[in-house]
């Protein structure tokens, strides 16, 4: 049989025709359908065009009982009206279910089981609280629409079983449920709600904690910004103070700058400097004031003087770079305080922008004058007293330590010393000189001359012998306090003070492990009678050329140097000059070698002790070179007269 349709084209349930016989048919039909009579005008207006009134036929009497066909038509119309109401209610319930099941409300985790309580499982439409599709239940507890379950149980193929659990039941066991609203606690939903509530509470707690942390970080950020602002202001103030200090120092340099002093015979008592000697003697070229100066070195190629000093106003040790070209500009180079006091410094003979210096802070460092920064630094086992560049190799440097050890470094290897040698004693090595290669040792061997209180020692690196050897006649002169070497002539001059022989008759002052004597009749800092020893290196041996008595310091380690010059016109070698500090006259004394004959005395009006002496020679400078003398806070530069 074809599926019936209503007048709107919608499909309707097929009418189940049941043979009615007697009272049973009447009673069954009465239980399934209720005749509400003709529709009222309100119902006609509500239903609109969908309602089709059935007019009485003129051929049929009024009291005529409707035939079976008319009854079927009435049932069809009434069923269509009921179907329409059920469709509207079903669409409303479906809309509610769609809203509940939408991903925006609960996501994709809701399934069909969670919305089964909203629909009849037979027609899959929403049940109602009244009418044909009234909600009802079976003895097994499953819910259905009344009309749907009645139709289901009447079908012979179902044999009166529940559509869901197949439990047998009859129409008499169907019970209507009269509840305005059925609420069932879904255990799974309850657990999920509890889980979501717990998760929300945890997220709220975390959000509160993060809010506190954010507030704390905002507070710290504001504090750091305030500190940065204070540091910037402090930096500006310090920069201003440093600029003022540099301006003050520059003014002092300008005020104390020397002038050309004409040659005056030594019988002139009013002269500031007494310069004795023939033509070619030294005369004062410049006098510069450098507060707290201790050591210096001169580089003729770059026209630069580097002074290691300790200024009271600034604190710590640092360098002052002075240009030899007028107006003698200066610049300050600060280094870490850990380097401590600087004991020795030398310009590199091959690279004029590099300076090697040793310090009591257990450091051997190389300073770059191009960047004014330390380019290389070595950690030492103890304090360094002296240092030297190797004159044969551009990559090797040496450091004399306080414990008597001598270390050799390769600037291409920064991890550790290339060689480490122990000395003949634990006395500090106060002077180190690199000797030129003369062919007596294997190729590549390097020779170093050092001085400590026991005398002069020769060290051979890259050679068979491991320990140094004491230079003959240098260990029985007394306490060695200085050593000068000229690499072009191999002249060597060592200065000595007397050894301590009897303690009751003298007062002993110790510097490191060296002993110094000062007699009770002499004040601390006054000169004491000592000696100079002149040696010359010839091959692998040393020849003693002469000696002379001298007044030397009784508490300090003096500095001295050797000057070797040529006569410009005759191109002849002039006698070498030994330059040392005269403690008695508190000036410079120049003596000819090897006789130690008097040549010239350079004496300043400032009666102060000489702390360092250096000579730098150059063929480009008239006179052959520059002699520098540092006494307290005054740096004097001398050149030779034509």
| Same domain? 411 vs 512 | yes
Contact between 416 and 396 under an 8 Å Cβ cutoff? The reply is no
| Same domain? 556 vs 421 | yes
Judge whether 5 lies within some domain: no
Contacts of 575 (CB under 8 A, 6+ apart): 592, 593
Q: In this prediction, what percent of the chain has a pLDDT beyond 70?
A: 66
| Same domain? 413 vs 561 | yes
Does 384 score more than 50 pLDDT? Answer: yes
Strand partners, 549: 531
Extract the tokens encoding 18.
């049941």
Does 136 score more than 90 pLDDT? Answer: yes
- Res 103: pLDDT: 41
Judge whether 196 lies within some domain: no
| Same domain? 320 vs 469 | yes
- Res 69: pLDDT: 41
- What number is the average pLDDT over the span 344-352? 91
Backbone angles phi, psi at 350, to 5 degrees: -105, -30
Judge whether 581 lies within some domain: yes
Could you read off the pLDDT of 552-585 as tens digits, one per residue?
A: 888 888 899 999 876 544 455 678 899 998 877 7
Residue with the two structure tokens 């500190």 = 227
Which string of DSSP letters, residue by residue, matches 34-86? ----SPPHHHHHHHGGG----PPPTTS-TTPPP-HHHHHHHHHHHHHHHHHHH
Task: Identify the band that residue 280 occupies on the pLDDT scale cut at 50, 70 and 90.
Answer: low
92-101, 218-227, 300-309, 359-368, range with the lowest pLDDT: 92-101
Does 274 score more than 70 pLDDT? Answer: no
Does 639 score more than 80 pLDDT? Answer: yes
| Same domain? 477 vs 353 | yes
Extract the tokens encoding 174.
């169907």
- Rounded Cα gap, residues 43 and 63, in angstroms: 25
For residues 316 and 43, the model is more confident at 316
Name the domain boundary from 184, 205, 236: 184
Task: Identify the band that residue 311 occupies on the pLDDT scale cut at 50, 70 and 90.
Answer: low
- What number is the average pLDDT over the span 138-166? 87
- What number is the average pLDDT over the span 39-46? 41
For residues 387 and 161, the model is more confident at 387
Task: Identify the band that residue 119 occupies on the pLDDT scale cut at 50, 70 and 90.
Answer: confident
Task: Identify the band that residue 29 occupies on the pLDDT scale cut at 50, 70 and 90.
Answer: very low
Does 66 score more than 60 pLDDT? Answer: no
Q: In this prediction, what percent of the chain has a pLDDT beyond 90?
A: 34
123-127, 362-366, 569-573, 594-598, range with the lowest pLDDT: 569-573
**365 is in which domain, residue-wise?**
257-264+276-640
Extract the tokens encoding 241.
């103070």
Residue of 118, 124, 33 lying closest to 81 (CA atoms): 33
- What number is the average pLDDT over the span 253-260? 42
- What SS3 state is found at 133? coil
- What number is the average pLDDT over the span 376-405? 94
Could you read off the pLDDT of 606-632 as tens digits, one per residue?
A: 667 888 999 988 755 555 689 999 987
125-139, 506-520, 589-603, range with the lowest pLDDT: 506-520
- Rounded Cα gap, residues 55 and 437, in angstroms: 143
Does 419 score more than 50 pLDDT? Answer: yes
Name the domain boundary from 126, 158, 184: 184
Query: CA torsion sign, 82 to 83 to 86 to 87?
Result: negative
- Res 467: pLDDT: 84
- Rounded Cα gap, residues 242 and 250, in angstroms: 12
Contacts of 596 (CB under 8 A, 6+ apart): 532, 534, 546, 547, 548, 578
Judge whether 7 lies within some domain: no
| Same domain? 442 vs 566 | yes
Extract the tokens encoding 217.
């970080």
- What number is the average pLDDT over the span 535-550? 90
Backbone angles phi, psi at 207, to 5 degrees: -65, -40
| Same domain? 514 vs 379 | yes
| Same domain? 160 vs 282 | no
- What number is the average pLDDT over the span 321-336? 82
The domain that holds 83 is classified in CATH as: 3.30.40.10
| Same domain? 440 vs 314 | yes
- Rounded Cα gap, residues 523 and 359, in angstroms: 30
pTM above 0.75, yes or no: no
Query: CA torsion sign, 134 to 135 to 139 to 140?
Result: positive
Judge whether 201 lies within some domain: no
| Same domain? 342 vs 445 | yes
Backbone angles phi, psi at 353, to 5 degrees: -95, 0
Task: Identify the band that residue 264 occupies on the pLDDT scale cut at 50, 70 and 90.
Answer: very low
| Same domain? 152 vs 280 | no
- What number is the average pLDDT over the span 69-90? 50
Judge whether 85 lies within some domain: yes
Contact between 437 and 447 under an 8 Å Cβ cutoff? The reply is yes
Task: Identify the band that residue 157 occupies on the pLDDT scale cut at 50, 70 and 90.
Answer: low
Task: Identify the band that residue 261 occupies on the pLDDT scale cut at 50, 70 and 90.
Answer: very low
- Res 199: pLDDT: 95
- Rounded Cα gap, residues 156 and 242, in angstroms: 113
Name the domain boundary from 124, 152, 184: 184
Judge whether 197 lies within some domain: no
- Rounded Cα gap, residues 561 and 559, in angstroms: 7
Backbone angles phi, psi at 625, to 5 degrees: 175, -175
Judge whether 4 lies within some domain: no
Q: Considering its fold, how many domains does the chain have in total?
A: 2
389-398, 477-486, 511-520, range with the lowest pLDDT: 511-520
- Res 106: pLDDT: 43
Contacts of 274 (CB under 8 A, 6+ apart): 264, 266, 268, 601, 602, 603
The domain that holds 367 is classified in CATH as: 2.130.10.10
Contact between 474 and 486 under an 8 Å Cβ cutoff? The reply is no
| Same domain? 321 vs 469 | yes
Task: Identify the band that residue 339 occupies on the pLDDT scale cut at 50, 70 and 90.
Answer: confident
């Amino acid at each position: 049989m074809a599926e019936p349709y209503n007048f709107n084209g919608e499909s309707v349930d097929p009418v189940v025709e049941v043979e009615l016989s007697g009272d049973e048919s009447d009673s069954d039909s009465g239980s399934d359908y209720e005749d509400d009579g003709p529709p009222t005008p309100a119902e006609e207006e509500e239903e609109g065009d969908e309602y089709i009134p059935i007019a009485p036929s003129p051929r049929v009497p009024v009291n005529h009982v409707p035939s079976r066909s008319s009854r079927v038509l009435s049932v069809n119309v009434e069923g269509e009206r009921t179907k329409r109401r059920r469709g509207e209610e079903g669409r409303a319930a479906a809309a509610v279910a769609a809203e509940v099941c939408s991903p925006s409300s609960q996501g994709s985790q809701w399934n069909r089981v969670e919305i089964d309580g909203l629909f009849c499982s037979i027609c899959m439409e929403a049940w109602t609280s009244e009418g044909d599709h009234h909600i009802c239940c079976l003895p097994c507890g499953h819910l259905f629409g009344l009309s749907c379950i009645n139709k289901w149980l009447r079908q012979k193929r179902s044999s009166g079983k529940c559509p869901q659990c197949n439990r047998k039941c009859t129409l008499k066991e169907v019970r209507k449920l009269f509840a305005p609203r059925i609420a069932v606690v879904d255990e799974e939903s309850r657990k999920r709600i509890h889980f979501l509530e717990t998760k929300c509470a945890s997220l709220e707690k975390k959000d509160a904690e993060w809010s506190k942390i954010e507030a704390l970080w905002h507070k710290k950020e504001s504090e750091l910004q305030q500190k940065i602002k204070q540091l910037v202001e402090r930096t500006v103030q310090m920069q201003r103070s440093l600029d003022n200090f540099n301006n003050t120092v520059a003014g002092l340099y300008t005020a104390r700058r020397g002038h050309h002093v004409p040659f005056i015979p030594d019988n002139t008592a009013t002269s500031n400097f007494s310069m004795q000697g023939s033509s070619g003697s030294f005369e004062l070229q410049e006098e510069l004031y450098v507060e707290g100066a201790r050591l210096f070195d001169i580089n003729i190629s770059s026209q630069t003087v580097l002074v290691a000093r300790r200024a009271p106003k600034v604190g710590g040790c640092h360098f002052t770079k002075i240009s030899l070209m007028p107006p003698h500009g200066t610049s300050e180079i600060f280094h870490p305080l850990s380097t401590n006091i600087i004991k020795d410094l030398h310009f590199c003979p091959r690279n004029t922008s590099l300076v090697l210096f040793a310090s009591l802070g257990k450091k051997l460092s190389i300073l770059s004058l191009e960047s004014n920064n330390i380019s290389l630094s070595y950690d030492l086992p103890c304090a360094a007293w002296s240092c030297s560049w190797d004159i044969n190799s551009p990559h090797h440097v040496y450091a004399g330590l306080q414990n008597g050890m001598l270390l050799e470094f390769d600037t291409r290897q920064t991890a550790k010393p290339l060689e480490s040698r122990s000395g003949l004693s634990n006395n500090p090595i106060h002077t180190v000189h690199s000797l030129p290669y003369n062919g007596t040792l294997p190729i590549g061997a390097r020779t170093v001359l050092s001085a400590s209180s026991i005398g002069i020692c020769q060290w051979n690196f890259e050679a068979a012998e491991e320990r140094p050897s004491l230079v003959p006649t240098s260990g029985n002169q007394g306490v060695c306090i200085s050593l000068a070497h000229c690499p072009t002539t191999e002249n060597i001059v060592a200065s000595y003070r007397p050894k301590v022989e009897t303690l009751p008759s003298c007062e002993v002052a110790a510097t490191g492990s060296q002993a110094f004597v000062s007699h009770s009749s002499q004040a601390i800092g006054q000169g004491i009678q000592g000696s100079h020893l002149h040696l010359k290196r010839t091959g692998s041996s040393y020849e003693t050329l002469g000696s002379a008595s001298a007044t030397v310091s009784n508490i300090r380690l003096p500095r001295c140097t050797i000057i070797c010059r040529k006569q410009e016109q005759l191109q002849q070698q002039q006698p070498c000059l030994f330059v040392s500090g005269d403690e008695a006259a508190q000036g410079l004394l120049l003596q000819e070698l090897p006789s130690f004959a008097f040549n010239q005395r350079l004496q300043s009006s400032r009666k102060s002790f000489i702390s360092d002496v250096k000579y730098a020679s150059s063929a480009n400078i008239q006179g052959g070179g520059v002699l520098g003398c540092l006494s307290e806070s005054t740096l004097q530069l001398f050149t030779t007269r034509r």
